[in-house]
Amino acid sequence: MDPTLKIVIVDENPVRAAILEDGLRESGHAQVVRIDDMSHLLARIYAIDPDVILIDLENPSRDVLEQMFQVSRAVKRPVAMFVDQSDAASIEAAVDAGVSAYIVGNLQKDRIKSILDLCISRFNAFSRLQNELERTRSALEERKVIDRAKGVLMKMKNLSEEQAYALLRKTAMNENKKIAEVAQSVITAAELFK
């Protein structure tokens, strides 16, 4: 566990916030900031720029939950949410909003360290999956552009698929560009001549 983490506790109840804060300090975390007023919450969290956000809600209303989910979606940080009661819809909404740990009931300071570790680990695992998905999507889009450009070259210059790809590759190397960039240029130029 990294003791230099900056952690924000969002809780209107000072007693419950103190349990979280004590558990964090006993785990060696010195940079703990408590927010007990929900007004301008997102702006305040942005200003603090925490590494982890702990949100403690006793019996959250739908509006409060939605505000917390907006925070979770916007800040792209590990978020652990503590609630006293929950239902399947709230849990599903929390997961969809990117909450890394959703803890129902039984808030104890000796559990805080393991919950924080879980929250950070799940966030990191999910981030890696999202990055991998984005890279895969990007590669697929590039592949589609390259295939379209090969089709254009095959038709306009009467080349085989291998020759069209070799021409794209050679041009990309000569211009110090990615093949997908050259392919997009070919497609754009072909559309101008239609």
Tell me the pLDDT tens digit for each residue of 85-116. 777 887 887 787 788 888 887 777 788 888 89
Looking at the structure, tell me whether residues 95 and 13 fall in a common domain: yes
pLDDT tens per residue across span 162-174: 999 999 999 999 9
- Report the DSSP beta bridge partners of residue 35: 10
The average pLDDT across 70-76 equals: 78
Same domain membership, residue 148 and residue 94: no
Question: 63: Cβ–Cβ under 8 A, 6 or more apart, which residues?
Answer: none
User: Tell me, what CATH number does 169's domain have?
Assistant: 1.10.10.10
Q: Report yes or no: 1 and 114 within 8 Å, Cβ to Cβ.
A: no
Examine the domain organization and report whether 100 and 38 are in the same domain.
Answer: yes
In a domain, 1, yes or no: no
User: pTM higher than 0.75 for the full model?
Assistant: no
Query: Which residue's structure tokens are 């006793």?
Result: 58
Residue spans of beta strands (DSSP E) within the chain: 7-10, 32-35, 52-57, 79-83, 101-104
- How many domains in the chain? 2
φ and ψ of 35, to 5 deg:
-115, 120
Q: What is the model's pLDDT at position 62?
A: 66
Task: Please tell me the distance from the alpha carbon of residue 113 to that of residue 47, in angstroms, as a whole number.
Answer: 25
Q: Which two tokens stand for residue 37?
A: 């007023």
Decide if 126 is inside a domain. Answer: no
The whole-angstrom separation of Cα 97 and Cα 78 is 11
User: Does the residue 93 lie in any domain?
Assistant: yes
Sign of the Cα torsion 156, 159, 165, 169 reads negative
Q: Is residue 122 a part of any domain in this protein?
A: no
In a domain, 128, yes or no: no
Range of the domain at 179: 135-192
- Stretch 66-89: mean pLDDT: 80
Residue 29 belongs to some domain of the structure: yes
- Co-location of 169 and 78 in the same domain: no
